[in-house]
Amino acid sequence: MENLHESFKREAKLENSSFHLDYIDIYMEVAVELEEDDLFFADLSKQISLLIMDEDEEPLASCPPHSLQCFSRAIHPSPPQPAFFYGEALQVQSKGTGVFIPQSTQSRRKHRKGRSNSYAKHQQQSQDTRWVSQDPIKSSSNPGNVLGNNYGHHAGQGRTVAALPQSFFRYFFVIFCLKMESREPKFPPQSQETQPGKEHVMKPLPQTISPDYKPASKLQGKVALVTGGDSGIGRAVCLSFAKEGATVAFTYVKGHEDKDKDDTLKMLLEAKTGGAQDPLAIAADIGYEENCKQVIELVVKEYGRIDVLVNNAAEQHLTNSPEEITEHQLLRVFRTNIFSHFFLVRHALKHMKEGSSIINSTSVNPYSGNPESLDYTATKGAIVAFTRGLSQQLVSKGIRVNAVAPGPVWTPIQPATKPAEMIQNLGSEVPMKRAGQPSEIAPCYVFLASLPDSSYYTGQVLHPNGGMIINA
């Protein structure tokens, strides 16, 4: 299986490759080096590929590219469902607990020279009707082991999908996602004239929480304060916290984010569970210490304490050189992005007990560098240093301090900062070739806020960034 795995890995690294049936030839090309039984994996790869194509050889539009539903649907489609292979329709029919796949005997797939005898034998077997079973098959030589060394099958005899090696599914799923993502529509050009950005005018709207998210009362009885919680990642964190049972307060900028604030409050009220209290929205410019002090006092007055502090609010401005960064802009960005962390922590600590958590939002930028947002990147680097130093100061008090460094994410700061033409390709620079959604980032905060889950984490930075390798 090593050669097949290597082929899968090579294929997964291809950039800008479309999800076209030609790539199946890559799987079959390497099959000449494999034993007969191993050819089943390449064959199954082909079968799965057929099931996720329509007559125009396009991915099924109803299947979200970044969802596991794609993979499960590909393996267990709802029959009857048409599949097409170079123009030849193959009808998928139900039979028992599996999927019956009549195989074409007149495939138009190109034949290459140098096929081995095992491959020719496999082609002969492919003319038979195959039955892909979901029931375990035990090898006669090893009845206790599902799919033993010989897999216990012959042409036309049952095979199991669920018992295949996990490595096959892992590699195929990576390829499948990358292929599908390469066809995912880009964001339409758009920009906003003011900061902070407004989520309710974005097209498409960011995904705040995944429909597949399953809360588990991880933050039951906790009180959380999230700065910049009206939109973007902050809103996703607030909603995830609320679904996990926390009482949530958040800050926003009055006059700029009122509509987003109202929408977030509505979401939190609907998500409130158990003994959680009603959410609280606080208008504040947190770049100034007195305002931060008042925010903490309001939260403590309302709820009595703070268990989780999320320093998330930020702003950025694109510039091409240091000469373009005015003193006013520099102070503004540093006040919002890093001074506020110092101010809020200073006044919140007296209300935080052992087991509490501080989570700071940094960015991939200080690790990768970003010449277009020098001041913003500098503040995010400062947040990493702040997180590491503060964690060591507070470890004796039992308060954990960690950070999250997202990559490109579809949030209001993007259209409020970047020109419209840049939005179309947002996220294209990362290995996954797409921007993340707030719903994909928020679980990091839930993990770090939950003491049972992250009790051995402090001074650490999580990196949900679409596959960028971070070594620092």
Per-residue pLDDT of the chain (472 residues; tens, 9 = 90+): 445 445 544 544 443 333 333 344 444 444 444 443 444 444 555 544 544 444 344 433 333 333 333 344 444 444 333 333 223 333 333 333 333 333 333 333 333 344 444 444 444 444 433 333 333 333 333 333 333 333 333 444 433 333 444 555 555 555 555 544 444 547 888 999 888 889 999 999 999 999 999 999 999 999 999 999 999 999 999 999 999 999 999 999 999 889 999 999 999 999 999 899 999 999 999 999 999 999 999 999 999 999 999 999 999 999 989 999 999 999 999 999 999 999 999 999 999 999 999 999 999 999 999 999 999 999 999 999 999 999 999 999 999 999 999 999 999 999 999 998 889 899 999 999 999 999 999 999 999 999 999 999 999 999 999 999 998 6
CB atoms under 10 Å from CB of 281, counted, come to 20
What predicted TM-score, i.e. pTM, was given to this entire model? 0.65
- For residues 16 and 398, what is the distance between their CA atoms, to the nearest angstrom? 47
d(CA 308, CA 240): 13
Q: How many helices (H) and strands (E) does the chain have?
A: 17, 14
Would you kindly state where each structural domain of the chain is located, as residue ranges?
A: 2-181, 199-462
Q: Which of 310, 333, 320 is nearest to 379 (CA)?
A: 333
Exposed e or buried b per residue across 354-376, where buried means at least 16 C-beta atoms within 10 angstroms of its C-beta: eebbbbbbbbbbbbbebebbbbb
Tokens 């199954």 sit at which residue? 44
- Structure tokens given for 22: 């030609």
Quickly count: other Cβ atoms within 10 Å of residue 75's Cβ: 20
56: CB partners within 8 A, 6+ apart: none
Rounded to whole angstroms, how far apart are CA atoms 276 and 222?
A: 8
DSSP-derived letter for residue 395 is G
What are 402's strand-pairing partners?
359
Q: Omega of the bond prior to 80 within 30 degrees of 0, cis?
A: yes
415: phi > 0 → left, psi -120 to 50 → alpha, else beta; which? alpha
- Let me know if 376 is a catalytic residue: yes
Which residues are within 8 A (CB) of 357 and not within 5 positions of it... i.e. 6 or more apart?
A: 307, 308, 309, 399, 400, 401, 402, 448, 449, 451, 454
Which amino acid does the sequence have at 75? I
Distance, in Å, from the CA atom of 107 to the CA atom of 120, rounded to the nearest integer, reads 14
**Choosing from 119, 376, 456, 457, which is the catalytic residue?**
376
**Residue 461 CA: distances (Å) to CA of 48, 156, 363, 396:** 38, 52, 10, 20
Architecture in CATH for domain 199-462: 3-Layer(aba) Sandwich (3.40)
Q: Could you give the angle at the alpha carbon of 310 between the alpha carbons of 344 and 224, nearest 5°? A: 95
* Residue 115: Cβ-neighbour burial (10 angstroms; 0-12, 13-18, 19+): middle
- Are 292 and 340 within 8 A, CB to CB? yes
Strand ranges for 277-367 from DSSP E: 280-283, 308-311, 357-361
Q: First CA to last CA across the chain, in angstroms?
A: 35
Positive or negative, the CA dihedral 223, 225, 231, 233 is negative
For β-strands 461-462 and 400-404, DSSP reports them as parallel
